Amino acid sequence: MPNPTAPVLTAAFAIALGIFIVAALVRWWRKSAAPAAVSEPLQYPAHPQEFPILSPANDPGNPYQVPAAPAPPPPPPPVPTGVPTWLYRKLDFIGAGLLFVIFGGLSLANTAVDPAKISFTPQVLLGSIIFHLTLGILAVVAVGFRVHPVTWLGLRWRHWPWVFLIAPATVLAMWLVFGGLQAIGYMDWMESLGVEATQDSVKLLQTATDPMVLVLMAIAAVLVAPVCEEIVFRGYLYPVAKKYAGTWTAAICSGLVFAAAHGSLAALLPLFIFGIVLALLYEKTGSIWAPMAVHFCFNGATVGIQFLARQFPHLLDQAK
């Protein structure tokens, strides 16, 4: 049977975009259909006896009136939690849709090329790094005109030491989830469909002989991807979708686009789960440090394991 990667990834992008648009329209319709708040009419007493009788103690014109106790100060405003959406405008709705189109087009263009003809040269990897850096910089510039990036991304997170617990715990949980998928035969099912079970990036780390290719691949996976992808997918795409479609819809849509953008059908479901977890971490902490640290640890562990397997291939054979 033909490889289903291209049509499934196309459907993934279309579903993500469709969910986003439908949820945004439903949210807009509910707001527009909600009745405007009407102030209650003044209630006048039915009998004259119900009017209050002023006494010297409560007569505002009495010069001997005892001054009332000062009113207590108002309570402090609640501390905002979660990812703020007030800074996004209607133009960002178009910007989010443009990201859908960009990543969808690139992913489908990659699946249309025969994997045997793809050559991961240093120039190709450097171009990929520049592309990711460009998208990250554009996102920072687009939002930086309205609010400082430190405020936008929650970089002044007071509880930042928690990342040293959150990151390894989340990576371990993801490994358990991926191991569960492996145990129930998910990868065997993918292979039965004629789908390559190993991502191109992982395969490159396993088979590349050019030291420059290995160095650039490690830099792209461990440094560039955690920073740029988190800024684009969680820092920009997720809050825009949240503003117009709600938290859970935004997490699902951004996670689906994040997974499909990697161009691997076998990794679509695992990365979709990973993308939702990263979005919820960002929502819970209000800081990009949390998903960025998890992404860094996840990719770093993957690169480290592949480098270790290259040096000690017998350990990998025993693990199998």
Structure tokens given for 268: 């679509």
The secondary structure element, H or E, covering residue 118 is none
Q: Are 158 and 269 in contact (CB under 8 A)?
A: no
- Type of residue at 305: I
Residue 152's nearest CA partner among 161, 162, 142, 160 is 142
Chain-centre distance for alpha carbon 165: 20
What are the C-alpha distances in Å from 312 to residues 155, 198, 308? 39, 20, 6
Q: What was the pLDDT predicted at 107?
A: 77
Q: pTM of the full predicted structure?
A: 0.83
Confidence of residue 103 (pLDDT cuts 50, 70, 90): confident
Chain-centre distance for alpha carbon 93: 16
Structure tokens given for 97: 């849709």
Mean pLDDT of 9-15: 90
- In 192-221, which positions are buried (b, 16+ CB within 10 angstroms) versus exposed (e)? eeebbbebbbbebbeebeeeebbebbbebb
Tell me which of 63-77, 96-110, 141-155 is least confident. 63-77
The secondary structure element, H or E, covering residue 162 is none
**What is the number of helices (H) and of strands (E) in the chain?**
13, 0
Q: What was the pLDDT predicted at 41?
A: 56
Share of the chain above pLDDT 70, in %: 81
pLDDT digit string, tens, across residues 37-95? 555 555 555 555 554 554 555 555 555 555 566 667 766 554 456 898 999 988 898 88
pLDDT above 80 (res 299): yes
Q: What was the pLDDT predicted at 266?
A: 92
SS3 content of the chain, % helix, strand, coil (to 5): 70, 0, 30
CA dihedral for 166, 257, 105, 140, sign (positive or negative): negative
- Type of residue at 130: I
Share of the chain above pLDDT 90, in %: 52
Three-class SS state of 86: coil
Three-class SS state of 265: coil
89: left (phi over 0), alpha (psi -120 to 50) or beta: beta
Structure tokens given for 256: 């689906």
Q: What was the pLDDT predicted at 172?
A: 97
Mean pLDDT of 136-163: 92
Domain boundaries, the chain: 87-319
CA dihedral for 269, 275, 278, 279, sign (positive or negative): negative
Cβ within 8 Å of residue 310, ≥6 positions away: 205, 206
Tell me which of 197-211, 233-247, 267-281 is least confident. 197-211
DSSP assigned state of 312: -
pLDDT digit string, tens, across residues 180-208? 999 999 999 998 888 888 888 888 888 88
